[in-house]
């Protein structure tokens, strides 16, 4: 049941991101939804897209670093903090 909610979130954020592709916040939230849904590669791509869209968005770097940290990818995590 819980995964179904995240699937719905992923779908909603993908739709929103397609409508406003230059909005980094949508990519950040999409990355969080992907991560919660266990879609790791997609989460990384979304976090990196948020960073590409707004290199000053510290939240995106932190989200990517935490993502790596929780998956025991210490070197990748440190690179984003």
Which tens digit of pLDDT belongs to each residue from 19-75? 999 999 999 999 999 999 999 999 999 999 999 999 999 999 999 999 988 776 556
* DSSP for the chain, written as a single string: -HHHHHHHHHHHHHHHHHHSTT-HHHHHHHHHHHHHTT-HHHHHHHHHHHHHH-TT-HHHHHHHHHHHHHTT-HHHHHHH-
- For the domain that residue 74 is a member of, what is the CATH number? 1.25.40.10
Check: pTM over 0.85? Answer yes or no. no
Better-scored residue on pLDDT, 17 or 1: 17
Domain that holds residue 34: 2-80
What local confidence, expressed as pLDDT, does residue 4 receive?
Answer: 66
pLDDT of 1: 41
Number of independent structural domains in the chain: 1
């Amino acid at each position: 049941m819980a995964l179904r909610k995240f699937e719905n979130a992923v779908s909603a954020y993908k739709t929103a991101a397609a409508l406003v592709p230059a909005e980094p916040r949508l990519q950040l939230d999409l990355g969080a939804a992907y991560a919660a849904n266990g879609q790791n590669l997609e989460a990384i791509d979304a976090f990196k897209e948020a960073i590409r869209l707004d290199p000053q968005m510290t939240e995106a770097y932190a989200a990517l670093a935490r993502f790596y940290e929780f998956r025991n990818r210490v070197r990748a995590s440190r690179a984003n903090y």
